[in-house]
Amino acid sequence: MTGRVDGNLWRTSSAVHVEAPPLMADADADLVIIGGGFTGNAAALEAARRGASVIVLEAETVGHGGSGRNVGLVNAGLWLAPRDVVAQMGQDAGLKLIGLLADAPKLVWSLIERENIDCEATPNGTLHLAHSTPGLRNLEERHRQGVELGAPVQLFDALETARRTGSRAFYGSLFDPRAGTIQPLSYARGLACAALRAGARLHEQTAVKRVERIGDRWQVMANGHTVRARSLLLATNAYFKGIDIAVRPQFVAVNYCQFATAPMPEPLRAEILSGGEGCWDTALVMSSFRTDKEGRMILGGIGDAGGGVLRSMPAGPGASCGRCTRNWQGLPSSIPGTGALP
């Protein structure tokens, strides 16, 4: 599984392109958004569709942050089990978030269809894999909590899990049919194109340097120009960089890296994830794997892309897929953080 590595697969395999010149003049808008990932582009799309004038400023290119680097699992919940979400957020907010996330894949699939986004959408479910006996106990408890909340989740034994994944390394799995996978960079770019079609303005290579509140307006400085707007959305997530602003987002940086093989030959594709599910496991130092439309195996794990991550993964299906030709990494987030700017 080692060999030459050649950067982020999603950048090579994306067929979606965005036209977004740098900011070259002062501008006014109802809403200015800093950050061109899922958050910024989805917000721009919705606000523009409701008639607002919107400007998105992205320091690099659309999907430069987590949105263009992630595993592409379209999940119906968080890493945390429902009970832990309620314990952290309180009953009302926790249950509200769980309900919203339960419907999130449906929203993603419908957006992809409505906006005709070419992003390898595969709504075939996800498998949360037990890497150990305690991992299986954890999934049994998640299954119990999920069913209690009306989720259509199913618990599979080791045999069925091996039939689906092509690996006997797992003790069982929790299948969520609402979930699935996408090509995440294509999805981020597709949202940006949809926002542009809806009338939003988007500027790449436009790193915001300073944000000030003057009267009832935000003044956002980038590329030597100023954008003035009544509302501001700071959508920089863990990629927040170089902005002089009163309140900074708080996060703990943890790397997650991924490796992709060359397309697998047909016999292997028939054995490994032939149902197209996306997978991750119950280990504290988590691993993930999935395939893409060309039949590449894409393996991920917490850590940076030095190669040690691959050695520490359970002997999953990756063991038989051949050498990796690409790797990349990024900064994921666990529980969404939102807040109002003063």
Ligand X SMILES: Cc1cc2nc3c(=O)[nH]c(=O)nc-3n(C[C@H](O)[C@H](O)[C@H](O)COP(=O)(O)OP(=O)(O)OC[C@H]3O[C@@H](n4cnc5c(N)ncnc54)[C@H](O)[C@@H]3O)c2cc1C
Q: Pairing between strand 154-157 and 172-176?
A: antiparallel
Tell me how far apart the terminal alpha carbons of the chain are, to the nearest angstrom.
50
What is the nearest approach in angstroms of ligand X to the Cβ of residue 241? 4
Q: Dihedral through CA 160, CA 164, CA 166, CA 167, nearest 10?
A: -50
d(C-alpha 333, C-alpha 107), whole Å: 21
Contact between 184 and 63 under an 8 Å Cβ cutoff? The reply is yes
Give backbone dihedrals phi and psi of 270, rounded to 5 degrees, phi first. Answer: -75, -25
What is the nearest approach in angstroms of ligand X to the Cβ of residue 332? 3
| Residue from 16, 72, 196, 289 binding ligand X (CB under 6 A) | 72
| Residue from 10, 16, 58, 139 binding ligand X (CB under 6 A) | 58
- Counting residues that bind ligand X (by CB under 6 A) gives 37
What is the nearest approach in angstroms of ligand X to the Cβ of residue 222? 7
Q: Does 156 bind ligand X (CB under 6 A)?
A: no
Q: Which residues are CB-neighbours of 223 under 8 A, at least 6 positions away? A: 22, 23, 24, 203, 205, 206, 207
Q: Which residues are CB-neighbours of 59 under 8 A, at least 6 positions away? A: 205, 206, 207, 208, 241, 242
| Residue from 75, 183, 261, 327 binding ligand X (CB under 6 A) | 75
Considering only the stretches 160-168, 223-231, 240-248, 262-270, report the one whose residues sit in contact with ligand X under the rule CB under 6 A: 240-248
Q: Does 190 bind ligand X (CB under 6 A)?
A: no
What is the nearest approach in angstroms of ligand X to the Cβ of residue 249? 10
Considering only the stretches 1-9, 35-43, 111-119, 128-136, report the one whose residues sit in contact with ligand X under the rule CB under 6 A: 35-43
Residues binding ligand X (CB under 6 A): 34-40, 57-60, 64-67, 69-73, 75, 207-208, 235-243, 256, 330-333
